[in-house]
Structure 1
């Protein structure tokens, strides 16, 4: 860090760097001055170094925050990070291209040595008006880089210099100067014992989410697709293993057996009361921190989604039949293998199982009431159908976008669950 003389010390050190660099390159004396470009251009070879703008350094401006506690106690020295913008102008005999020769010398010097050497900083700090500067002790070295300026930017810059004629110039930015407060922060309290832990910041990543029947042998190949009630989840990825791993499944935290957690593969049991629909899954790595030790969440994986698929567990009941002829209706009573929440949206899908060849099979859909309301059994639904053609229908229930399973016959066709609506009157 450095004190309030840092900006002036950088300017003087830059002047000395330029003065030392041009001496071997030209056979005449050059006046290098840290001042504004003059209103009357000098005829003798001259270089002016003018600090025309100071801006906060975007990368370091908040590095020291916070510096105080809630009650205002200083805990760290505040430090202002600044960028210095310099206009370096050249004067001399144009017939001998003196200004361009001086410019080339300065460009060469600042490209070869973009950082201010400690020797020049010490020499600058030896000036009577800079006594007490400690810029040389700062670990942050000031680096100079050229700033490109188009015609519009140059015109705006020189228009600020009232009644000052344009001169051949360069613009350089010095990055960064840290000006530190002279206040001393309070000393830290004594440490009785240390409870800080350092862990690798390797976030667990779940690449794929598959499923297989619960209790399967280790070699069973998991499959993609909706997850039925009697299936467990198989996750593959990287960095999955930790001291304590918990799976957050549909908002429910499920602690995992360490024996079933590998770094690249993890098995998760789905809570039995998780309703059908689309759910998210995320792995959480837990840590024991503090004194006494308490569980905390450390790292979290990305979220993967899966479809929880219901199945119609019992034969579909038909109650209160109505109609006859070409259109019939009834109340269909369905029992699923998992409970439903009252706020879930349910759609009943009917498709003719064996439509006659002379016409395409009929298909119908009916919405259940929303919300589902009070039900003696959260697994049971009652949905009214009406205006359907008398036939035998395959029955599916779509819950929050996920359809229930159908069974497949030995011939490879869907055969159930089904409901007979041919004799409802």
Structure 2
């Protein structure tokens, strides 16, 4: 962990390391300078250290997540993990192979000591422009690894440095430098005493939701038909018979009719609008000192579709007025479906979108008007689809019988 001077400190420490590691292999003075390779290659023995790229460290980039709680409070100090990519270039008298001598010494030194030492980092921190750096205190050590670059990679890299002639160079990757954020996490509360309670933990699991007619006895088998407001939910699962059950349907509390280990019968909340809703069970657990009972044990969530019924539909000039058995929220999307009723080879079908919002006035509504145009006169079966929940049709003697609307 370190502050914003960590990158510059790593570069300065690398240069100090190269400068001290050259003797006694190299018997002449060498300048180690920062920056990109010069446009005019120096004749004196020189090593340039150029930080040409910075990338996120793949292994540590999300190690600090999450950094904030649901209320926005800082849980831990944000931390950016980055890798530094260096190009180390060598200059000198080519007739005496000075660049190659420098390259050999640098490669051997970095292979022998691939990790920046605390001594070099503390020496770099003595520079006036790096005062206040704390890279030496970071538990994460900076390690140098040679980067393999083919001719294509080298060509792309050097082409970005306009009017700079190519020089003998090696590339190294420094892994990893951690940069701390400015936010300070809040301190935890002091602990007065510790209390441990062991309770058997068997998490309830929900599987699927079927339904039975409301008020049915235990001998009535649930079916997979449309779940309308006049039916009770039958939720299947495992480990459901526990004390302190609270059943939540669509975020609202539902009354429990019958309870067994593998199924629970629920009454749907009356104010639940049409659409897809989730069913979840919560069980009370008593913990703490003094004991506190809360619904801490939760099941998974399973969805079901609450489908409206069309109670009545009537034609009026320019639209059809639809009344449903359950209230519909004004911000829900409704679609009217008309299918011609009667013996025809090719019965006509129409689909119309309701206005949004559905109707003026109080929210929710049971009756709203859907504008229709171009509908041929006749009798039609009426369905309404609210947020994907489609109303069922009445069925008798092998045919659909309603609800119906006469369009004149």
Band of TM-score, shorter chain = 0.5 to 0.7
Map 1:9-408; keep pairs closer than 5 Å.
10-11=10-11, 13-15=13-15, 18=18, 29=27, 31=29, 33-36=31-34, 41-42=42-43, 46=45, 48-50=47-49, 52=51, 59=61, 86-92=86-92, 94=94, 99-100=99-100, 102-103=102-103, 106-107=106-107, 110=110, 114-116=114-116, 120-122=117-119, 125=122, 129=126, 135-145=135-145, 150-157=154-161, 166-177=166-177, 190-192=190-192, 209-213=208-212, 223=224, 226-228=226-228, 229-234=230-235, 246-249=247-250, 252-254=252-254, 269-275=267-273, 277-281=274-278, 283=280, 304=303, 306-310=305-309, 338-341=325-328, 343=330, 347=336, 349=338, 351-352=340-341, 355=343, 360=345, 396-400=382-386, 402-408=390-396
Q: CA offsets, 1:176-200, max 9 Å, x none?
A: 445789xx999887555689x9xxx
- Report the Cα offset of residue 141 of structure 1: 1.0
Q: CA offsets, 1:165-214, max 9 Å, x none?
A: 65222343434445789xx999887555689x9xxxxx9998x7542326
- Report the Cα offset of residue 310 of structure 1: 2.6
Assess, with a 3 A threshold, how the Cα gap between structure 1 residues 297 and 402 changes in structure 2: closer, same or farther. Answer: farther
Whether contact under 8 Å (2:255, 2:267) holds in the other structure is: no
Distance 2:62 2:171 in 1: 22
State TM-score, norm by structure 2. Answer: 0.55
Distance 1:267 1:170 in 2: 72
Partner of 1:200: none
| 3-state DSSP of counterpart to 1:99 | helix
Partner of 1:329: none
- Report the Cα offset of residue 139 of structure 1: 0.3
Partner of 2:200: none
| 3-state DSSP of counterpart to 2:167 | coil
Q: CA offsets, 1:299-330, max 9 Å, x none?
A: 89678452414376xxx8999xxxxxxxxxxx
CA-atom RMSD, angstroms? 6.6
Distance 1:303 1:60 in 2: 31
Distance 1:351 1:185 in 2: 66
Assess, with a 3 A threshold, how the Cα gap between structure 1 residues 290 and 96 changes in structure 2: closer, same or farther. Answer: farther
Distance 1:95 1:11 in 2: 30
**Structure 2 alignment gaps of length 5 or more:** 198-202
Distance 1:90 1:260 in 2: 79
Assess, with a 3 A threshold, how the Cα gap between structure 1 residues 153 and 405 changes in structure 2: closer, same or farther. Answer: same
Distance 1:64 1:387 in 2: 60
**Structure 1 alignment gaps of length 5 or more:** 198-202, 320-331
Aligned residues: 361
Q: CA offsets, 1:324-366, max 9 Å, x none?
A: xxxxxxxx99997x3344858585856545x3xxx53766779
Whether contact under 8 Å (2:9, 2:124) holds in the other structure is: no
Whether contact under 8 Å (1:87, 1:171) holds in the other structure is: yes
Larger radius of gyration: 1
- Report the Cα offset of residue 281 of structure 1: 2.0
Distance 1:4 1:418 in 2: 71
Distance 2:54 2:138 in 1: 20
| 3-state DSSP of counterpart to 2:33 | coil
Distance 1:211 1:190 in 2: 49
